[in-house]
Amino acid sequence: MQKLAKHSPFWWDLGYADHDVSCMGGPSPEIFEITPALRAKSMIVELGCGEGRNALYLAQFGHQVIASDISEAAISKLNRLAGALGVNITSGVAPVEEFQSPAYLDVFIAQSVLHFTERAVWKPLVTVLMDRTRPGGFHCFTNTLDQADHPIPKESLACGHKKSFSRGELEAIYTKAGWEILRSDHYIKWDSHPGIPIHSHCIEKVVARKPIGSENLSRMRAEPIKAAGMIQAKQFDTLKLGTLRDAAIEMLGPPSGRHVMTIAQKTVGGNNQEAIADGYVREDMIYGDHGLQFVNGTLAGKYRYFTPPKRLSIRDA
């Protein structure tokens, strides 16, 4: 384990500095879902890449990945994991404000990073990247929003969260430009990270796709994960992260809706688990407007949905 520099102002460096554990978990479901629809050797750009949960996964398919983060500990860990997995990633330590876009790209990923910049920074950047994205390309965002009953966590405010997004703002930008909105999710998530106790975020997740045109690229569809039933508030509140899947089912009964993501190859492990896992299974069990996220059989996150949970898949026609 590397020692965390005492002067680091970032709470996430505590996890990134430990090369033996995963700080944020494996690839996001939407990244896993869009992968089959990508061109061969796609150009991927990820800002705020962290330890590489998405970048490392995509690089294993032979895509060209450019990944940056403001954290030296994150990039050091990313490079070490890339070496262990035998993949090539162009990485660097830099703030969003210094990012120089390539001439073209196929995928842009910004998860929990742009809300640390002002609108005067992220809006022009998004415009440039939209123009440089090839037809059929994807932009994938996750931002934490400020909400009265779930305000921005104090550790994020201390790191410079700007509260610079409002719900639906990104969706409106891409809709006006004629992009297809595949996901526009809104939910509360409870999770934890190394050295940080369980906390909640109000999250917006947006996946937009540039029109394909006449190219022979796979088309995608989004479908709600329909699930009846419910979890009693007291049960939900007392269900602890780290609970095993079978114990949760014994307590709550089987879910009426499920979404399973299975990765056979080695990848970044589950949140608060090993840094690299030989396999990765994320299972979201849905009970009405609540969800439980299990990674390799262990509860890693809890959700309350304001919009129906969705999954993306290849559309036949």
Spans of the chain, pLDDT less than 70: 1-8, 316-317
End-to-end CA distance of the chain: 50
Question: What is the structure's pLDDT at 268?
Answer: 84
Pick the CATH number of 13-223 from 3.40.50.150, 2.40.50.140, 3.50.50.60, 2.40.160.210: 3.40.50.150
Question: What is the structure's pLDDT at 251?
Answer: 94
Q: Can you tell me the distance from the alpha carbon of 164 to that of 150, in angstroms, rounded to the nearest whole number?
A: 16
For residue 221, the tally of other CB atoms under 10 A from its CB is: 12
Q: Can you tell me the distance from the alpha carbon of 8 to that of 14, in angstroms, rounded to the nearest whole number?
A: 9
| Those residues with Cβ within 8 angstroms of residue 120's Cβ, 6 or more apart along the chain or in another chain | none
Residue-wise pLDDT tens digits, 72-100: 999 999 999 999 999 999 999 999 999 99
Is residue 248 within 8 Å of residue 292, measured between CB atoms? yes
Residue-wise pLDDT tens digits, 134-161: 999 999 999 999 998 889 888 888 888 9
Question: What is the structure's pLDDT at 25?
Answer: 82
Question: What are the Cα distances from residue 213, in Å, to 39, 44, 68, 71, 231?
Answer: 14, 20, 30, 38, 44
Q: Is 82 helix (H, G, I), strand (E, B) or coil?
A: helix
CATH of domain 224-308: 3.30.1450
What are the sequence ranges of the domains in the chain?
13-223, 224-308
Tell me if the pTM is above 0.85.
yes
Two domains, one topology: 13-223 and 224-308: no
Question: What is the structure's pLDDT at 7?
Answer: 57
Tokens 């090993």 belong to 274
Kindly provide the residue ranges of all beta strands, DSSP E only, lying in 147-256, ordered along the sequence: 180-193, 196-209, 219-224
Q: Can you tell me the distance from the alpha carbon of 278 to that of 280, in angstroms, rounded to the nearest whole number?
A: 7
Is residue 56 within 8 Å of residue 268, measured between CB atoms? yes
